[in-house]
Structure 1
Amino acid sequence: MIVDLPDTTTAKISKALVRIREEGGAVALGRVLTLIIASQLGHEEEAIEAANDASREHPMRVIVVSTQEHDTADAVARVDAEIRVGGDAGASEVIVLRVYGDAAADPESLVTGLLLSDAPVVAWWPGTAPAVPSDSPIGRIAYRRITDASAQPDPQAALRELSSTYRPGDNDFAWTRLTLWRAQLAAVLDQPPYEPIIGIQVIGAAASPSTTLLAAWLQMQLQVPVECKLTTGPLANGVHGVHLKRASGTISLEREIPDIATLSQPGQPLQDLTLKRRSLRDCLADELRRLDPDELYGEVITRGLSQLKKVVSQ
């Protein structure tokens, strides 16, 4: 069910939520958090769909604040709202706020009256993120702040910015997308022979901040200099492969086709492994599983990234 509330206020939205619960039986019981999605007008539906899917694992209230990227000076201050419940909201309640003109000047006041009582708040910027997420109006009230460097105009520059502005509670989907890569590489290194790694090469797309973070993580964990090789081209995206050099030979994990990686090890037959590109829903659900700061991400983005010396583009 979708209820439209044109040219409305936070107080009217709150009253409408109460009325919907009383008339339709929709309740907030069991909601474990409030997710605030800060997006641009016309670009919110993909994020809402991901949140609806993730809500089946994490029941929550979703508040979407959509603003115009370049608001005109004469735009009339107005808030149009939608309340989505039932089949249109997964296991969540979705409140969509489309904000125009000066009404967008203080997003914190727009959402404060709509937050679930005594529930943690997570902020997510699926598109352009503020320069310092923790200091932004919405970021200040959030336990966790999720950005996506790959959605920024210059993903590699966005990583450097995240490194300089990091605060505990920040995280980025560029790191979340590496979960399967990190798990697979850790599993390979847990198998004999237990020889030290003497050289590492990580290859990926120039527009892939995940490639850079993977290289920084490997260098920090294994204390071996890493060559991070970034490639360009119309088909270049994501992490392409990792090569771990030992005295007995090189271990290679390469993903040349979608969702399938090939593992080659000295003296062993080639293995095809499932290594899927993580969807927006998977990344969001993963981030919502923990509301405490991701300390490892904090170390990689602040310390590991600065130690990554060699980045080669071609």
Structure 2
Amino acid sequence: MIVNLPGTTTSKVSKKIMAMREEGGVVTLGRVLTLVVLTRVGFEEENIEAANLASREHPCRIIVLSEGSSAEATRLDAQIRVGGDAGASEVIILRGYGELATQSESLVSALLLPDAPIVAWWPHGVPDKASTTSIGRIAHRRITDSANEPDPRAALEHISATYAGGDTDLAWTRLTHWRIQLAAVLDQVDPEPVTAVTVEGAADSPSTFLLAAWLYCALGAPIRVVDDPAGTGIRRVVLERDGGNVELVRPGTVEAFLTQPGQPEQRISLPRRTLQDCLAEELRRLDPDEVFGEVITDGLARLLEHEGAAGV
């Protein structure tokens, strides 16, 4: 069911949801959080689809704030989606114009689920400082996506400089399976030090750079980042050791091959992760991701210093 409410107020939207609940049996029981999506005109449906799919694991109320034009007369247009049009969630789309064009807490405060955690997600447009924005100040977790920025590496460095506990970035979430595989390998091989590391991935992939920062932070070995063509994601990691190298290579987008001393080559399922998979993973935890915090600040700073010293 989809209900359009042009020229409305958040109070009227809230009352309409209550009326729909009473008339049609639409309920919010079992909603575990409120997901506030701060997006741009033209990207709403893509983000709503990902949030709806993620909501199958985390039933929630989804509030989408879409930037309208500040040059138009002040008004608020809204749309409510429930039932089959909203997955396991309720979706409320708000688009403000004029004085209401700025995305702020005042637009969502009347629509937040009571006593439920709040997660803010910026799928496009990393804010100046997520934790100090109007929505970021009330959110338990703040999710950005540096991969969607014009200069992903610069966006990553900006996130590093403005990091606060509770921040995360989907470029980090896309690394989960790579980190699991590499950590498992290091647990299995002889406790011999890694003498050098090579990370090869797409030049436009902030995940490549974050993986290098994680490995540099964890191993402290000299590291080299090799750029691949844009759009290819992470391709290869080589851990050099005196007793034999460990190499994890993903030539395509689904399967990877692991080579390590004294063992035959292994074929591993390592598909590129979908947006909804990454979002669902981030919604599983509401506490600060301490590993990400260490990597995005200390690990990234050390990697940049290492690159500068090496003349990269």
Regarding TM over 0.5, the answer is: yes
Q: 1:283 aligns with which of 278, 296, 306?
A: 278
Task: Please say which of residues 75-84 and 12-21 is displaced more in the overlay.
Answer: 75-84
**Identity over aligned residues, as a percent?**
58
Q: Could you say what the CA RMSD is over the residues aligned between the two structures, in angstroms?
A: 1.6
Displacement of 1:106 = 5.3
Displacement of 1:72 = 5.5
Figure out how many residues of one structure are paired with residues of the other and give that number. 309
Task: Please say which of residues 125-134 and 260-269 is displaced more in the overlay.
Answer: 260-269
In the alignment, residue 104 of structure 2 is paired with which amino acid?
P
Displacement of 1:141 = 1.2
Asked whether 1:219 is paired with 2:178, we answer: no
Distance 2:70 2:98 in 1: 7
Query: Match of 1:268?
Result: 263
Query: Is the CA contact (8 Å cut-off) linking 2:66 and 2:94 kept in structure 1?
Result: yes
Uncovered stretches (5+) of structure 2, i.e. residues with no partner? none
2:188 match: secondary structure? coil
Q: 1:101 aligns with which of 93, 98, 113?
A: 98
In the alignment, residue 267 of structure 1 is paired with which amino acid?
G
2:280 match: secondary structure? helix
Query: Match of 2:190?
Result: 193
In the alignment, residue 35 of structure 2 is paired with which amino acid?
L
Distance 2:162 2:295 in 1: 13
Displacement of 1:90 = 0.9
Calculate the TM-score normalised by the size of structure 1: 0.95
Displacement of 1:187 = 1.1
Q: 2:254 aligns with which of 243, 255, 259?
A: 259
Asked whether 1:135 is paired with 2:129, we answer: no
Query: Match of 2:40?
Result: 40
Q: Which structure 2 residues correspond to residues 125-274 of structure 1 after superposition, within 5 A?
A: 125-231=122-228, 233-234=229-230, 236-274=231-269
Distance 1:57 1:106 in 2: 27
Uncovered stretches (5+) of structure 1, i.e. residues with no partner? none
In the alignment, residue 261 of structure 2 is paired with which amino acid?
P
- Judged with a 3 Å threshold, the aligned counterparts in structure 2 of structure 1 residues 58 and 72 are, in CA distance, closer, same or farther, namely closer
Query: Is the CA contact (8 Å cut-off) linking 1:206 and 1:313 kept in structure 2?
Result: no
Calculate the TM-score normalised by the size of structure 2: 0.95
Query: Is the CA contact (8 Å cut-off) linking 2:96 and 2:102 kept in structure 1?
Result: no
Query: Is the CA contact (8 Å cut-off) linking 2:70 and 2:100 kept in structure 1?
Result: no
Distance 1:136 1:8 in 2: 24
Superposed CA deviations along residues 103-128 of structure 1, whole A, max 9, x for unmatched, are 12352111011000111100000111
1:257 match: secondary structure? coil
- Judged with a 3 Å threshold, the aligned counterparts in structure 2 of structure 1 residues 146 and 117 are, in CA distance, closer, same or farther, namely same
In the alignment, residue 146 of structure 2 is paired with which amino acid?
A
Asked whether 1:292 is paired with 2:301, we answer: no
Query: Is the CA contact (8 Å cut-off) linking 2:38 and 2:103 kept in structure 1?
Result: no
1:310 match: secondary structure? helix
Superposed CA deviations along residues 83-139 of structure 1, whole A, max 9, x for unmatched, are 111111111111011222221235211101100011110000011121111111111
In the alignment, residue 233 of structure 2 is paired with which amino acid?
G
Distance 1:313 1:180 in 2: 31
Displacement of 1:4 = 0.9
